[in-house]
Chain A
Amino acid sequence: MKKEKVSILEHELVPKHEIMGAEEIKELLDKYKIKREQLPKIKLSDPVIKEIKADVGDVVKIRRQSRTAGKALFYRLVIE
């Protein structure tokens, strides 16, 4: 019997990751008055990053359920 491969993106514990567009990134960087390198990082080897096929230099938006705030937004720069 061949096993169906389940996408990890569908797992309930994996928050939603989204690759951001250039426009959106600029807005984000302006909002916090930072350079790209000052964003939190995420490794290219991260399973979700591999799954959504993000590349080094991309910024991903992570929407996550938060115990304190309900919903929380995170942005991370993909690195090697």
Chain B
Amino acid sequence: MRTKRIKGIKFGLLSPKEIRKMSASKIITADTYGEDGFPIEMGLVNQRLGVIDPGLRCKTCGGRMGECPGHFGHIELAAPVIHIGYAKLIYRMLSATCRKCGRVLLEDAYFLFSVSDTELEHDLKREIISAKWHKEFGDKGFTLSTNASITKVKNDEWTITDKELFIIRKEAGKLNVYDAGEKGRFLNDIELGKGKQPGVGEAVKRMFKEAAKHTVCSHCGDHLFDFAADARLENSLNKGEDIISKELRRKFATEGHALSKNPSIKKETDNKWLITDKDKRYIVRKGNGKLTVDCGTPQRVIKFDKPSTYIEIDEKERKRRLMPSDVRERLEKIPDEDIALFGMDPKSARPEWMVLTVLPVPPVTARPSITLESGQRSEDDLTHKLVDIIRINHRFMDNRAAGAPQLIIEDLWELLQYHVSTYFDNEIVGIPPARHRSGRPLKTMTQRLKGKEGRFRGSLSGKRVNFSARTVISPAPDIDIDEVGVPEAIAKELTVNVNVTERNIDILKETVRRGNKHPGANYVRRADGKKVKITETNYKTLAEELDIGWKVERHLRDRDIVLFNRQPSLHRMSIMAHYVRVMPGKTFRLNPTVCPPYNADYDGDEMNLHVLQTEEARAEAKILMAVQHNIISPRFGRPIIGGIHDHVSSLFLLTYGEKKFDREETLEILKGIDIDDLREPAGTFRSEDRPYWTGKQIFSMILPAGLNLQFKGKVGGVTIRDGNLETGVIDEIAVGSFKGKIIDRIVRQYGEEAAKTFINDLARLATNYILRAGFSFGISDEDIPREGEQQIKEEAMRVAEHTVDELIRAYEAEELEALPGRTVEETLELRIMETLGRARDEAGSIAERYLGIENAGVLMAKSGARGSLLNLTQMAACVGQQSVRGERIKRGYRGRTLPHFKPADRSAKAHGFVKPSFKEGLSPTEYFFHAVGGREALVDTAVRTSQSGYFQRRLINALLDLEVKEDETVRETRDTIVQFKYGEDSVDPSACEYGKVVDIDEIIKDVMAGT
């Protein structure tokens, strides 16, 4: 494929001429369809604008529906209206240009000195600033620095850029040096800003600001007086600012315009001088042997009354509205040379084009009407809006022709402006949105493009896809981790395209014969490309006709490969390839062990499924995206798939202590797991001659042979030797997701396939066992014997309360010593918090003593299946201190948190300490404090998720094109290097054990075991 690099994009405005030129039809009637049901000529759904009905032909290009892209039309507006999108820019341009002559209110370049020297000219032509030029400038009092640079602008014109900006022109054989003046400087800034940051926009903004400051025009003016030209006077003007001849002064004074002590005189051309004297400006021109003096045109203040009205205020504070026609006239006066100051190109964007006189009408293909079931036509919102515009346009014209009073004309003009404005944007602040008959705001131009559902984000960057399905997910512990349960209804809707070949023709014939019954097919495509739907009437004939070269769109079947996804797709494990398993029911089923990579649960989560349509895609998915390739997370280099919740509880229970199972029980626990050999039983029951296997042995059966592993589990060390769990209890660290040391080792030593089998087996084993053993946890499981409760009250609570009282007493008696860097008050708070925190922990450990490991809650916490000991403490012993921003609760009334307490009460209970456990129940005040603390947690998580989500998005946007190349450098798309070595050490965290490149300890252990 040929690729081309885009050099630039140019935006311009449509000129009225262009709009008329590209128009296929002038639109004059607001009516759409005539009585005969056909579109009206020169109407809005004109057949010259394109066709949307099948069978008809476009009157412009002759194309049928689908071939004809549509053509623009146009409406001649009765009066000009402001284009709402440019309202603000128009205001800026009006303020920046002379109200009379239209020039931008900036001073032109002015003459400094002139030289005539061939050597100097030669240097200019070579574009170098020679020493001679430096001297020449220095002599005239303009020192050039060494950084000065020269550029040729056009023939016989150069600019020198230093701190100042100079223009050198060759005029009449002489080299004239000019100061670029305000205009020249801004033009230069704008030119330099092109293609850079902050760029043209910033320079233009500064220009507008500067130009709007000028209250007097320096280009045109009102005539004041003349006097006869005379060489001496002229000379005095030419000499510039410093010397003003007495004669000139006198001339001015006699005319009543006495000059102040030192006005500035700038010579712009041989015939024009600008005298600036404080806030007065005089323009002196030579002509007809006279010197004419004008005073610069004073500029009236223009106010912008949003959204589209401009008001001019004169010297006497009188207000006058500038109608769009006035605005247009003023913008027309701006000369082409000055347009560049707005950062625009006068050829493609003249300012007056921002005031509309002709409105382009988009083709009907861009605003298609829909036919309702009743046969009635319903037009697009844009068409409705255009109808409004045409109606008002007509009324305006009629009224004007009839000579209606100015007031009515102005009202109609306002109305036309409203309709055109809302046609572009229906969400302008200060304008009531145009509504549909039903009261629904219309969706006009801006609304079509803007926002999440707009053209860019909704239709171009992202769109709906075919061959996909979405439904609620639910668990299926009996299917494999790389499978997905698909409801039959969905399997019948989603299809896979199969080419009929010699080898599959018989199978496919059978498939077609089944028709709409599940493993059937929906369509066949004949060899000539014709697509035929399989129906109850034709399936038999189609099956017989089926031939090589045909295609069959067959239903999704077991073992088809599909992509499965849950949003937000934050990492690559959010989309994985699964194998289909068609099932009854209406939900997608997935093995609970794959919940962590998707971050899914079954509280109503929905997931998406995509059916792959090409052989290449299926191969890629299988090789790159299969679930087993994603067991190890590239994020932290450890398994992300593993046992969760009950899997952990179950295996913990199974391997805890010496549980004995006879043959039948063992087989039942191992049900559904591919094991040929039960291995040697651990022993026989004493009374009978029955062999038994221990729980640890049963777990060992799913371990790969030859696995050696030692690690510290949550409760003591775990030793696995030659695939046998010798000591230790299986917990979260051994098989859990995110941790799973055993899984991690199996992936590295035996490969992904073995790891997949292991996870499958462990999930099945765990489910089987916990079904047998039974496992529950309820409110009564938090019961503590009476003496335990007593102990908590006495040993923990009473002591803590006493300590707190003692601290408060000491504080009040001013005996409390401040901690370093803290005030006494802070110290008190800190120590109270500490005391109460300790009290809760103590209560917790007392409770724990009474609730042994056989307690389901403790078991879950200890094995890491779910919950923590803190949760148990809060349920069984004491809820503890509630806090806001890490401090005790102190907000509320003055000096107290609630009216239930006395002011200045510093006791534990008055500041959010909740003494009882959840089971015992909270008092009203305690309940309130708990809610206060809970609110903070809730707000925190809400704020954090949205913020971190945005951070992640930005990070990904910045990094998304980076790639690790073969030479281990990280490069971006243009092969620019970002890192010379990936991660500075070229290490892939997912390929090494616990983030280390080499695990020396493990290697030594392995070698020692081998000898």
Contacts and interface: CB of A to CB of B under 8 A. Distances in A.
Determine if chain A interacts with chain B. yes
A66 B980 CA distance: 13
B967 interface: yes
A40 B978 contact: yes
Contacts of B900: none
Interface stretch (A4-12, A15-23, A43-51, A68-76): A68-76
Nearest to A35: B975
B980 A38 contact: no
Contact of A69 (B977, B978, B985): B985
Interface in B972-993: 974-978, 980-981, 983-985, 987
A52 interface: no
B969 interface: yes
Interface in A25-55: 32, 34, 37-40
B980 A75 contact: yes
Given A32-B967, A32-B969, A68-B987, A38 B976 contact: yes
B590 to A, nearest CB: 36
B650 to A, nearest CB: 39
A69 B981 contact: yes
A40 B984 contact: no
B985 A68 contact: yes
A40 to B, nearest CB: 6
A72 B981 contact: yes
B975 A34 contact: yes
B983 A74 contact: no
A32 B967 CA distance: 8
A10 to B, nearest CB: 24
Given A32-B967, A32-B969, A38 B977 contact: yes
A39 B977 contact: yes
A43 to B, nearest CB: 14
Nearest to B971: A38
B984 A32 contact: no
A68 B981 CA distance: 11
Contacts of A34: 975-977
A39 B977 CA distance: 6
Nearest to B975: A38
A70 B983 CA distance: 12
B975 A73 contact: no
A52 to B, nearest CB: 20
Contact of B977 (A40, A68, A70, A72): A40
Contacts of B967: 32
Interface in B200-222: none
Nearest to B983: A68
A5 to B, nearest CB: 26
A69 B984 contact: yes
Interface string B231-275: 000000000000000000000000000000000000000000000
Contacts of A74: 980
B984 A68 contact: yes
A65 to B, nearest CB: 10
Contacts of B971: 38
A70 B997 CA distance: 13
Contacts of A37: 976
Contact of B974 (A32, A38, A70): A38
Most buried by A among B971, B980, B987: B980
A74 B969 CA distance: 11
Nearest to A71: B984
A34 B971 CA distance: 11
B2 to A, nearest CB: 23
A39 B976 CA distance: 6
B985 A73 contact: no
Contact of A32 (B977, B983, B985): B977
Contacts of B976: 34, 37-40
A70 B986 CA distance: 12
Interface string B838-869: 00000000000000000000000000000000
A66 B981 CA distance: 12
Given A40-B977, A68-B983, A68-B984, 20 more contacts: A32-B967, A32-B969, A32-B977, A34-B975, A34-B976, A34-B977, A38-B971, A38-B975, A38-B976, A39-B977, A40-B976, A40-B978, A66-B984, A69-B981, A69-B983, A69-B984, A69-B985, A72-B980, A72-B984, A73-B980
Q: Which 4 pairs, one residue from A and one from B, show the smallest C-beta to C-beta distance?
A: A69-B985, A72-B984, A69-B984, A66-B984
7 contacts: A32-B977, A37-B976, A39-B976, A40-B978, A66-B984, A69-B984, A72-B981
